[in-house]
A = this chain, B = another copy of it.
Amino acid sequence: MNTLELLRNIDLFRDLDPAALAELGKNALTRRLSIREVLFHEGDEGMFFYVLCSGSLRVFKTAADGKESTIKILSPGEFFAEIVLFGKKRYPATAAAVAESTVVAIHRDSFQAVLERKEWRDSFISSLFGKMSYLTDTIHHLSSYDVEDRFFMFLLKTYGKKEVYEIPLQKKDIASAVGTIPETFSRMIQRLTSSGDLRWDRSTLRLRNGFWISRRDDFGE
C-alpha cells in the first residue's frame, strides 16, 4: 500500500478532493517504527506532522525527575504533532511506538495549501476541538476518578464498549495511560480477576457478561 492509499483511508482526509490529496502525498514520507522506538522527543524541532497508519504510539511528557505522564495513546487513523503547523517549531511531548507501527510524515508546507479549502478547514478545526475535549476530559478523570474507573474509561475511549478486547499493548503502557504505575495496575487487575469481572490472557481481555450495563457511571460521553 503506497502513501497515497494510506492517506485516503484517514478520517481527517476523507472529504479531501483528489488533487489536494495528491499534493499532500507528494512530499509525504512513510516511516516504520519498531516497539519502543521514538519518533520525536519533547523539545525537538520539527517541520512534520504525522498520521498514524497502523500500530500504536504513546505521547508523553517527562518531568524534571524523570516521571512520565502519558497524554494519549494514539490509534490508527489519528493525526498528531499538528502543533508544528502554526508557529511553534518544537514538539511539546515525546512520541514513541508502543507496538510495531507505521506513520506518514507530512511537511507543514504541503499542509498549508490544503488548509486554504474552506470546507475542509472547518473540519480540521473541528477536529482540534475534539482533541481539546479529550484533554479536558482527561483532566477531569485524573482529578475526580480512581484508577479503576480510569482504566475502564481508557478502554472505552480507546477501543469502544466491547466485551472482548484485543489489546496489543504492554501492561505498563496501559498503566501509564491510566495515570498510575505497573504495580498498582497489576494489583487492580488481580482484584478484578478474582471478583470475576474480567479475565486477561495474553493480549485478550474478556469482561464479564453485562459488565458495562451493571457499571453505570457517567461514562456516557
A88 within 8 A of B: yes
A138: CB under 8 A from chain B? yes
User: Given the complex of chains A and B, what is the CA–CA distance between A131 and B128 in angstroms?
Assistant: 10
Are A136 and B63 in contact (CB-based, < 8 A)? no
Residues on the B chain within 8 Å of A69, using CB: 139-140, 142-144
Cβ B139 vs Cβ A142 within 8 A: yes
Name which of A67, A68, A122, A129 has the most chain B CB atoms within 10 A of its CB: A129
Q: Does A155 contact B (CB under 8 A)?
A: no
Q: How many residues of A contact B (CB 8 A)?
A: 36
A114 interface residue, CB < 8 Å from B?
Answer: no
A86 partner, pick from B67, B122, B137, B218, beta carbons under 8 A: B122
CB distance from A216 to the nearest CB of B (A): 9
Q: Which of A112-126 contact B (CB under 8 A)?
A: 122, 125-126
Q: Is A92 an interface residue (CB 8 A)?
A: yes
The verdict on A132 contacting chain B, using a C-beta distance below 8 Å, is: yes
Interchain CB contact under 8 A, A136 and B71? yes
Cβ-defined contact, A83 with B142, below 8 A: no
- Contact, CB under 8 Å: A217 / B139: no
Across the A-B interface, the 4 shortest Cβ-Cβ residue pairs? A135-B135, A64-B218, A63-B144, A69-B143
Q: What are 6 pairs between A and B in contact, CB < 8 Å?
A: A69-B140, A69-B144, A83-B133, A128-B128, A135-B136, A142-B179
